[in-house]
Every structure is written in C-alpha cells, then in structure tokens.
Structure 1
C-alpha cells in the first residue's frame, strides 16, 4: 500500500478561500460584501489566492506545514462546491498563474497543498449539463447524468424531479459515473491538478459514488501522477471500507472530534473516551491511522469555540488532545484565534486580521501545541499507549512512544485544579529522572509512585523525558 509517509508529520490548516484574505480587490465580484460582514448563504467577501500568498508569513509563524483549500475551481457559489469548470481557477479567486504562485510559495517553505475535489456532482452551469438543457434528448451528454425525463427543469423552485441531484438540490446534478466518458473526464481532472503541483485531493462526499472500481481507478490515476500524493475522503464515521490500497490513504477523522466533545459537553466517561479513540486506532491499518486528517471543525461544523459555549479552557483542552493523537491535526482557519460561528453560513466568517479581535490566549496555545508536535518525533510518529483513564477523577493519561523518546500526555477534564500522580511503570522512566512539559517548560522528577503534575481546570501537559 502506498501511504504518503509525510502526512503524519503535518499540521494542516484548512482555508475557505473567500473568507481568508483579500489580496486583489480588482477581481472582487460587483456585489462584494465588506470584509468581516455577517456572512450570508450567497454573499462573497473577496478572499482570493493572492490573499493566501500575502498572508503566508502568518501561516509560517503559526507553524502549519500543509494547506487544505476548499474548492478553487470556477463556480457560481462562494463555497465553490457547484463546479462549472474543473480546469479553471474561479476568476474571483485569481488565475492559474496565481495558483502556481501559491504552490511556489508553499513548496519553497516546505508546505504541502491539497485541494478539494467534488466529483459526485457538478454545478448546473457545467457545459455538459447546459448542453442537455439546450438540446434535450439530442444532447451528446444526456448519459453524463441520471436524467429521469425530458425536458428537464433545472431552475424553478423545488427539488429536482427530472434528474438525480445531490440531496435533490437542482443546482447539483449527480454525475453518472457508470458512464466511461464521465469516469475518464473525472480521472483526467484528477491527474491534471496533481501534475500541476497539487499534493493531493480531499474528496467531497465520496461515499455517494458507491463504486469500488471507480475509486480503485481514481487512486491508480492519482498515484501514477505522483505516488506520494495524498488522497483523503470526507467520511464522517469510522469505516474501514474506504481506507485501503484501492481507496483512500485516510479520511477526515471526525469521530475524534465527537469523542472529545462528548467529554467537554456531556460529561462523558473518560474510559469511554479512551475506548472510542482506541477503536479508531484499530479499525484501520497502522500506516493509515497515522495518515488520518484529524479536524476539530470545518466548514461543515459549528466553530469549535462556539461548540464549547465559548469556554476557552475547554477549547484549549480539545486542541491538546487533538495534537497528541495519532494522525495529522487540522486547524480550521480562524479557530486558532477564537473565531466563532454556528452552522453555515455563520461558521464561514472572514478571518479577523485586526489582532485586537483575536483571542490571544488561544493563539499562543495553538502555537505551543504546534511547536511541541514539530519538536517531538514521538508525538507525530510514536505508538499510542494508554496509561490511565479515570472516570472518578476525570482525567486521561496516555503516552506516545518512539524508541527512547516517550511523551506522557495528561488531560484534566474538570472545572477544578488538581494534583495528579501518574504511574509510569509502563514507560522507561526511572526514579529520580527529570521530565519536562513541552507546553509550559516546567520540569519535575519521577518518584516512587510515578510523576506528579499540577493541572489547571481543563488543563493539559505533554511531559517528555530529557
């Protein structure tokens, strides 16, 4: 199985292009909203690829090493999941030269870039679908989609009845991926953008294409263009069907998020948290576990800080667990500075470049976690080992171990400060040995009963052997 080894070392940063940064106001749409305006379903705020380039120093200072860009191809929607041209950068985002410039900046700074592929459906503005609208049953593309009857009605209100569409939404006609011409079209697109320099694909709703042979060929095409390309699927539940040598390298590991939120919001048991996370380590092959994309939020979820009722300490604990867990942690743009927002469109606010609007406590914490993960090989590549999951005292301790390097992660899931003595008999730590917290730089010694740590409410430590 060809699983990209580089993924486990990454810190991903997801960018919703229209809302990250406006670097070229000359390409703003005529009805552009002011930057930072209350987001709407259809409104544009002018973010573009030049904006990402201009703010790259911010990304490097934060410490990210990989970007995931929401769709960048020509589309009628601000989220660009309604693709109308798979070979053209949306003019409101820039040009092919801008995309290449972004890749140049990223790659020269050792930052990977993966892009979003929407292959289950297109926008109704796609040439092939428009040809059906114009020519009906005489269209040479009538078999590219699942047409139920002619003529088709694509623009009146209501659900799609004349053709299959994603969730019945008329804007999103579903491709007929049984058609060899459609398959070849999609595979050619997949190959083209990898050949242009993209480092991988994030696949939108891939389970909607319920065809193993399709994905086997998709993988073959992508890996033939670049054997080290990353293929990650938007699969919301743990399902080993999608992760193997004929499908994807990894999936968006949302169950990690769900397990963490259960602790923070519902008072879930720590033993249940440990069992849930450990299940995710066994349901997939080991190499793929470490190639998982691990988000706490995305354009499809409520913002992290909103989800935890704007309790910064809880958000920090969620980040601490995310960055210590196997797989590649992913930050949704703005979560690291405390951007809030409920469901779409509120979760797609413009990034606040006025630093007075930032939650600096959260920002500093994110940078510490990123620095710790980049410093420690064990946090990125080490084996997981449960130490304690205490339901009574509501703390969770586990280790990441790689050779002689061991990191003990301790999480306090209570509203009170606590002093805990964690047994370390399963680690190669000797009585009297000094260990240091990667996050606070505080040092302590291993005693007869283990190592004693002081944790604030919802606090965390990453103890490493010196």
Structure 2
C-alpha cells in the first residue's frame, strides 16, 4: 500500500495554499517501512532550493523522534530513524517550510509494517545488538596464502606489522562468536590500505594492518581475502545469527596519498588548518575536503557501493557501519551519507566514533539524520569508579543514562578498544576480579555492549605512546586461542552474554532501579524491568562474598549466573550471597 499524502496549509501566503490536487513536493522512501527501518524524507529540489525558503523542519513524533528535525541547508533530503516499539499502522509526519511570508505545512502519512527478517535469530532490534569488535588482522589466520602478498617479509612478532588474520579466519571462528553470545560482529575497514612501512627510516615497523589508512576505497585489502570470501563471511555470520558491521572512514586517506597522481588528487586539503577539528589533519593523515560537494559525493558513493557490491547470491549484505572520526567531518556529509545508505538499504544503521561521547555529550549526532548510536567513551570511567569503590555514584549515573537511551538513539558502551589502554591494564590495575565485575556492569546495562576481542580472556595492554622508545600498541595483541578452554574470564563473559541474549528486551529496553547498596559494604543490587518482567542484578566489588537481604515480591528466585542456585523468600524478603569479585562478583535473579 502506498503512503497516503495530503497537505494542510498553516498559512495561506508565502508558497501559496495547498490543495489535494496540488503536485506533491514531499516524498518518502521506503513507501511502507518497518519499525526496524529509517525513512528518507525528500522535498522537490526546485521548491527546496528556491529563493525565500529559510528553514525546513520535520515533526516526526509519531515515528518516535522527540523533537523537530531540521533539514540541512545544502540537502533536500533528511533521514528519520523509526523507533522499534511503535504499533504497526499509519503514522503522520509534518514538514514545515518557512519563508519570509510564513510557514507552509505538509502532512505525510507513512504506513509502518512488521520487520521482514530472513531468520528469527536476525530479527533483533538495533538496541539489542551485542557487539564484538575485532581487528581482523589479529583475530585468526585462516588463509596463509595472503599473509605477505607484497613480499614485505613481515616480522609477525612486531606489534605494528601484519600478523595474518583474515576473512577466512573470521569464517572459521564464527561458531565461537555465536557460542559466546554475540549477535553483531564489528570488523576493521576492509578497503585496500597503503602498503609501505611508515617507520622504515627509523629501522622499525608501522604498517596499515588496522585498515584505517586507505589507498583505494573500491578494492578489498589483499591481506584480508577477496570479495567472494567476504560474501561468504556475510552469509556465514547470518547463518550463525550474527549481523556484520564494517568500519568505514570518510575523514582521511592513508599517509602519502596526497602526492601528485594519487587516486585522491584534488580531494585532499592542500593547506590544512592547524588544530582545526574539521579543516585540519588528524595525526597528520591527509584530510578529505568533505565540505566540497564533489568530494563528499565521491566518498559517499565509494563507501555506499559496498552494500551492493557485497550482496550475496541469496541477497544478504553488510548490516551496519561503524563510522570513524565523526567529529572531524562536517554534519552535511554525515546526513548525506545516511540518506544514501537508507535509499540502498532502509534497515541499515550507523554507530559513530565521536571521541569523548557520553550521555551528556552526543555532539548533536543523534535524532539529527546522522547517527543511530555513538560509542560511549565515558562508560569505562563509570565502570572504573564502580570497581574502585564508588559503587553507588556509578550506579546513579547509569540510572540517569538508562532514562535517556532509546531504540533509535542509543550508545554503545565499551571497556577497552584499539585506541585506548585496556580496562584491565588501566582502570582495574591488573585485577581480574575487577575486570569481571566491570564486564557484568557493561553487559547488564542499557545500551549496546561492545566486547573488544580478547578482553573476554583477560588480554589487555597499553596503547602506543612514543614509538621511538619502542612503546607500541600492546592493546592490539593476537587473540590467544590456546587460552579459551581454560579461561575463567571467558566463562564469565559467555555466561553474561547468553543471559542477556535470553532476556534481551529486559536488558535492552528496561528501566533501572536501585534495590539496595552501599559504598562501605562494596555492593549494589539493581533491578531491570520491562513490561512486567524483572531481573535483579547484584554486584560485589570486594574480594570476599557478601550476604544481603532485600525486599522481594515473589516467593522464589533463581540465580541465572550460578545456574543452580535457588532462593526462597521469607516474609517478603530474600537473603542472598554475592560471590567475591575474583569469583565473578555477580548474581542475576529472576523469579521462578
């Protein structure tokens, strides 16, 4: 069924009153979106770019957007992400066109439909993503024939060279990720990177193994595999209930790509502005002039093309992008990028790296036609304060955070990453028990938990500092496959992720309330509630068990974490024991 379109004039001057017979200047795509989609709202170019129009806004409250969105002055399209908790049926958006004479209003009816997922395991909402982030080169070497395609004779013991991980390795280890409880795999950029050693003059090594130094956005990097293998990766991931998120960069190219004759000639800044967030260079990397329409359009075309290029015979393709260096590119590019993506695949989502992002610092990228989520750089600080004695203060912050997240504008919380010191190394000071409790806090919080590869084994390290002194990226280790079977840390993560999987809506959408807790006693118990379902989480930061009595409403409870512990209530109270942090420091209670 096509969307019904009609117009109601707010004023009868300016653009002139509209009637049902007037040509429709407003269109939406797709015509009948699902609650997992976004919608591109378009205005006729002749109308939008005519003289006299000062601003165009969209009221999309019926799609779950809390406040008016404003069209970019350079774009006659705007993407609106739909909240996934809406009832199916007709929803109305209102487009207001403001001129010097007044405001003309157009109402557009959009018919929401049920999501049409190919399998039940892939039918989860965006805020239900349980994300695993890996540097492909460091995860698993599944094809040794692409280890040294350029005859560089890599020293694979050096932290800044290629180590051999590839698409085939990801394919072979997909069962591991499924068993761990992951439903979204985030991989580093797949595009062709510069081949040269950036520290050759220092008699050392620094290659683009991480994928962020692009040489050609139209080709897959030869160290990773080929397009057919990447398609196999997508199909395999989907067969295991895992969606694929690919890292993309629109801000910069690889080092040396600003030389004459480069494929990017004319696209990079000749005179970058020192220390400028958008017009400058990040770490000396050649910076794209994305504010120029031709440059912007070319970059968007290159990156968006991967959605079609990667489509498999059965119709599967990339599901999400993680967007690098968001704050270093102007808003117009991100809005145009989102528009182009949604016209290619309406269910596609973007999570952005806005460095320093938190619930109080979203940079205006959410509910603005740009990002659907941001990586939460503050969460590790909250978790650090939690495990280092400010239990109640951290819990209060997470309650506030919980209240502000929605299915269509959320945050991806993480403890460790490829760009910062590992949590176990930095915040936990090497204490594996603190890492376990922090992981429990991460995985039971609202938002999208992001697991950095190897942290589930206790792998950690410092980020690079002064490479001239040999201070390389210790946090970009090779995944330790030999440690999996005997790792108590791995068992902890796997248990938690699968508990979240089995109670996905409660943890992804539920509210958060404090049940009991004390900084002095080193514990907190909080509840997560959604549509009449409740889970209570108890966390203990002490290295000895703690016994707690709490008020309850049901007769008996099971501890999902210990799997075989049951508690019976007595006169409306329940007495439980939370294990020491070295033993996980976690109970997760659900009424029998």
TM-score range, shorter chain: 0.7 to 0.9
Matched residue of 1:97: which SS? helix
* 1:364 alignment counterpart: 491
Shift of 1:167: 3.2
Counterparts in 2 of 1:3 and 1:327: CA distance versus 1, 3 Å: farther
* RMSD of aligned alpha carbons: 2.5
Counterparts in 2 of 1:48 and 1:234: CA distance versus 1, 3 Å: same
Shift of 1:31: 4.1
Query: Does the Cα contact within 8 Å between 2:81 and 2:408 map onto a contact in 1?
Result: no
Q: Does 1:275 align with 2:396?
A: yes
How many residue pairs get aligned? The number is 431
Query: Does the Cα contact within 8 Å between 2:138 and 2:165 map onto a contact in 1?
Result: yes
Structure of higher CA gyration radius: 2
Distance in 1 between residues matched to 2:176 and 2:380, nearest whole Å:
26
2:184 equivalent among 60, 66, 69: 66
Matched residue of 2:525: which SS? strand
Q: Does 1:313 align with 2:438?
A: no
2:446 equivalent among 318, 326, 338: 326
Distance in 1 between residues matched to 2:572 and 2:321, nearest whole Å:
48
Matched residue of 2:379: which SS? helix
Q: Does 1:198 align with 2:318?
A: yes
Shift of 1:66: 0.9
Q: Deviations 1:88-138 (Å, cap 9, x if unpaired)?
A: 110011111111110111112221001111111111454xx34xx249xxx
* 1:287 alignment counterpart: 407
* 1:411 alignment counterpart: 539
Q: Does 1:2 align with 2:81?
A: yes
Distance in 2 between residues matched to 1:140 and 1:201, nearest whole Å:
22
Unaligned segments of structure 1, at least 5 residues: 150-158
* 2:350 alignment counterpart: 231
Matched residue of 2:337: which SS? helix
* 2:162 alignment counterpart: 44
Distance in 2 between residues matched to 1:15 and 1:423, nearest whole Å:
42
Q: Deviations 1:28-82 (Å, cap 9, x if unpaired)?
A: 12345576x3x423x1111111111112222222221110001121112111111
Distance in 2 between residues matched to 1:359 and 1:335, nearest whole Å:
15
Query: Does the Cα contact within 8 Å between 2:181 and 2:497 map onto a contact in 1?
Result: yes
Matched residue of 1:78: which SS? coil
* 1:166 alignment counterpart: 281
Shift of 1:174: 0.8
Matched residue of 1:87: which SS? strand
* Correspondences of 1:41-440 after superposition (within 5 Å): 41=160, 43-76=161-194, 77-126=208-257, 129-130=258-259, 133-134=260-261, 141-142=265-266, 144-148=267-271, 166-169=281-284, 172-195=285-308, 196=310, 197-209=317-329, 211-235=330-354, 236-238=356-358, 239-240=361-362, 241-265=364-388, 267=389, 269-282=390-403, 284-288=404-408, 291-307=410-426, 308-344=428-464, 345-355=473-483, 360-376=487-503, 377-424=505-552, 429-430=553-554, 433-440=555-562
Q: Deviations 1:339-359 (Å, cap 9, x if unpaired)?
A: 23222310011112223x766
Distance in 2 between residues matched to 1:140 and 1:206, nearest whole Å:
20
Query: Does the Cα contact within 8 Å between 1:421 and 1:449 map onto a contact in 2?
Result: no
Query: Does the Cα contact within 8 Å between 2:126 and 2:407 map onto a contact in 1?
Result: no
Q: Deviations 1:408-458 (Å, cap 9, x if unpaired)?
A: 01111223321011234xxxx23xx11111111211023335322111222
Distance in 2 between residues matched to 1:451 and 1:365, nearest whole Å:
24
Query: Does the Cα contact within 8 Å between 1:372 and 1:438 map onto a contact in 2?
Result: yes
Unaligned segments of structure 2, at least 5 residues: 1-79, 85-124, 195-207, 311-316, 465-472
Counterparts in 2 of 1:334 and 1:346: CA distance versus 1, 3 Å: same
TM-score norm. by structure 1 comes to 0.86
Counterparts in 2 of 1:358 and 1:173: CA distance versus 1, 3 Å: farther
Which structure carries more strand by proportion? 2
Distance in 2 between residues matched to 1:350 and 1:328, nearest whole Å:
25
Distance in 1 between residues matched to 2:514 and 2:219, nearest whole Å:
48
Distance in 2 between residues matched to 1:85 and 1:4, nearest whole Å:
36
Query: Does the Cα contact within 8 Å between 2:168 and 2:225 map onto a contact in 1?
Result: yes
Matched residue of 2:179: which SS? helix
TM-score norm. by structure 2 comes to 0.68
* 1:28 alignment counterpart: 147
Query: Does the Cα contact within 8 Å between 1:4 and 1:229 map onto a contact in 2?
Result: no
